[in-house]
Amino acid sequence: MKTVYDGYISKHINRRLSEPIARLLAKSSVTPNQMTWAAFGVALLAFISFIFGQNIVAGLLVQLSSIVDGIDGSLARLKGMTSEFGGFLDSVLDR
């Protein structure tokens, strides 16, 4: 596993929100891949918001997408569901 270095926003905002959410979701039937798709969906909403000139909404959605994207990896580790496919899916949809 490669070492990941978080930036300031990721460390002090995103992870502080995504980790507790992942712990709550670990008790549910939600899968890490579902969270990956959810982050992608929020990112698409951000894109659409930018297209329609809703820049503040779009910026908030981009930040939310980043937080949701952090949940998938944490959830995979907590549930013991890490997989090569999940990592691939996450990296493709992150683009």
Active site residues: 94
C-alpha separations of 1 from 16, 17, 74 in Å = 22, 23, 14
Structure-token pair, residue 36: 């990956």
Angle at 40 between CA 77 and CA 74, to 5 degrees: 15
Cα 13 to Cα 2: distance, rounded to the nearest angstrom: 22
Residue 25's identity, in one-letter code, is L
